[in-house]
Amino acid sequence: MPRQVLPNVDLVVAGEQREWEGVDMHSMPTLPAGKAFAPEKPVRIVRALPLVTLCAGLIALAANPHSIAAGGPTSCESLSSLVLPHTTITSSQSVAAGGFMPPASPGRAGGPGGGGQAFAELPAFCRVAATLAPSSDSDIRVEVWLPVVGWNGKFEAVGNGGFAGSISYPAMAQALRRGYATSSTDTGHSGGGANFAMGHPEKLIDFGYRSVHEMTVAAKAIVGAFYGSGPQQSYFNGCSTGGRQALQEAQRFPSDFNGIIAGAAPHLQPQFLSGVVWIGQAALKDPGSSIPRTKYPAIHTAVLASCDALDGLKDGLIDDPTRCHFDPKVLQCQGNEGAECLTATQVEAARKIMAPESRTGSEVFLGLERGGELGRGGLTGGPEPNGDGIGQFKYIVFENPNWVPNNGGEQ
């Protein structure tokens, strides 16, 4: 696809993964043909805000409105007879205020959370469930929620987390409480692992980008049928996998949304998950390399002591981690091991975690920037590397459920 500037779209991107900033997507390696779902062309970023701001709430972004032509409004229950391309409406029912109980989630929803109290505070709404089948192997489940009163005239689609596999009910609840018509999808499979993709290339495409677009098209049509006119503004809001979904929407389907919130986006997901496995191997390849969670505060304190003042202000923050060249060897234990020092093997593991992985001659993963140590326990706490990274290699790259990370080999 040719490079282009996105028309009529405000794109907000945020995240704490500075290692991705400035990387030319076109220079990065991809998985074999048919297996990659990395972006196809660069994105024009018009605004950047802190991740916590984006993932915690909604941002109203204005652009040229567009709407779906429709007749008069209709009842909730009558939406079950709505006919849309490759779409089956499986249910449409009115839900009383505070009456929604979410089903058990088989996957990871992602996006802004809420919990039981958030559902108890929901206003009355029309709940529509549908199954989309844009390919012969597609089974994309979506839900669309429509406020019965107080609709703000806008539509907000919400994203997922990890390998998805479930409807993002908490994020939908947050949007509904603010007056939005909202929708979410399980991206075409059930459960939070990558095993759905093995032998199912169409399902991988659904997960990669197609499910969100198809959901958006169907949801706008349902909104138009219910209210008698389509949304005046349409937004997408997602973090993590939802952030990647946001970037895919901006690049592949720029007319789907007027505004897009892309938080914590692993925009090169194959490379990111490869890096996750690399980090796990560096820290877990032998018991002596493992860095306990209790030691990361000491590492972080030492990093701040070394690099906090580089920007001229000592404020507990590292303004530009790329200027920080802290070497964890300064923390190597001089005697007995303790909580404030690292063994020699732990020093080497910490160095690898912070360094680029480029054995093939090109950087697959740029390492974790100095300053983010307090959030690394989940990637290095073991006993095995992160499950999403392992799943990518098992079910997408090698299509071998028995694959294990062992210096890149199979067992």
pTM (two decimals): 0.80
Asked if residue 86 has pLDDT above 70, the reply is yes
Tokens representing 1? 């696809």
Query: CA torsion angle for 22, 25, 183, 227 (degrees, to 10)?
Result: 90
pLDDT digits (tens, 9 = 90+) for 195-215: 999 999 999 999 999 999 999
Asked if residue 52 has pLDDT above 50, the reply is no
- Residue 255 Cα to chain centre, angstroms: 21
Which of 104-118, 218-232, 328-342 has the lowest average pLDDT?
Answer: 104-118
Identify the CA nearest to 343 among candidates 272, 293, 289, 389: 289
Q: Is there a contact between 238 and 111 (Cβ–Cβ < 8 Å)?
A: yes
Asked if residue 381 has pLDDT above 50, the reply is yes
Please give the pLDDT value at position 288.
85
Q: Per-residue confidence at 11, pLDDT binned at 50, 70, 90?
A: low
Distance from C-alpha of 115 to C-alpha of 144, rounded to nearest angstrom: 19
Q: How far is CA 110 from CA 71, 172, 179, 192, in A?
A: 35, 11, 20, 11
Report for 70-74, 157-161, 354-358: range of highest mean pLDDT:
157-161
The stretch 317-332 carries a mean pLDDT of 94
- Strands (DSSP E) found in 8-100: 10-14, 47-48, 87-95
